[in-house]
Every structure is written in structure tokens, then in C-alpha cells.
Amino acid sequence: MQPAISEMAGDLSPADVAAVTGLSRSLIYREIERGNLAAYRVGTRLRVEPDAVARWKERCRVRPRSEPPIYEPVANRRRGEGRSSEFAEQLTAIEAGRAAA
């Protein structure tokens, strides 16, 4: 089991961040280079504060959709079984809903 970032003492190297998050070192370096993950340099070494990792993880958090998708495909149908007319009716209803909005 990997230690939590909040339990680690001091600042972290990119390799430490990679180990804790389960990501590759190259991804961590790329995120630092792009400015997505805050880091600082001590001599030739990069260091990342644990709070910076926590903020980065929060910004990257996947959030649920606020609205359901407009169209959900229907599964488990055989090819050609009334699909074209149902699809056309559903598409017409979707377009009518957009025009009304």
C-alpha cells in the first residue's frame, strides 16, 4: 500500500509523486512543464509540495454530468428491426426540442 501524500514529510520529487499517484514519472514531468502541477527547483532538482499535488488532483477530478445526454442508444437489438423509423422519430423529437428552446 502506498503512503498518502498528506502522510509524507517534506516536499516530494517527481518520482515520489509518480509513486504515490500511480502515474509515470514522464507524465508528472509533463504536467510540471505544462504548468498544471506546481513545482520549484532546488539546484538541478525539482520538488513538489504535497499541497500542490492535492490541488492538482482536485483540478483533475472527474465530475458527473450535470444533465443526462440528449440521446441514449438502445442496446440489444437485431440489425434492421425497426431501427430506422425509431431513430428518425427520436431525431425529429430531439431537433424539435432544440428548436423550441
Same-domain pairing of 55 and 75 = no
Total domains in the fold of the chain: 2
Does the residue 85 lie in any domain?
A: yes
How confident is the model over 19-57, as pLDDT tens digits?
A: 999 999 999 999 999 999 999 999 999 999 999 999 999
Same-domain pairing of 86 and 51 = no
Please give the Cα distance from 19 to 49 (Å, whole number): 15
Same-domain pairing of 81 and 51 = no
50-59 and 14-21 are packed helices; what angle lies between their axes, rounded to 10 degrees? 50
Residue 80 sits in which domain range?
70-101
pTM above 0.75, yes or no: no
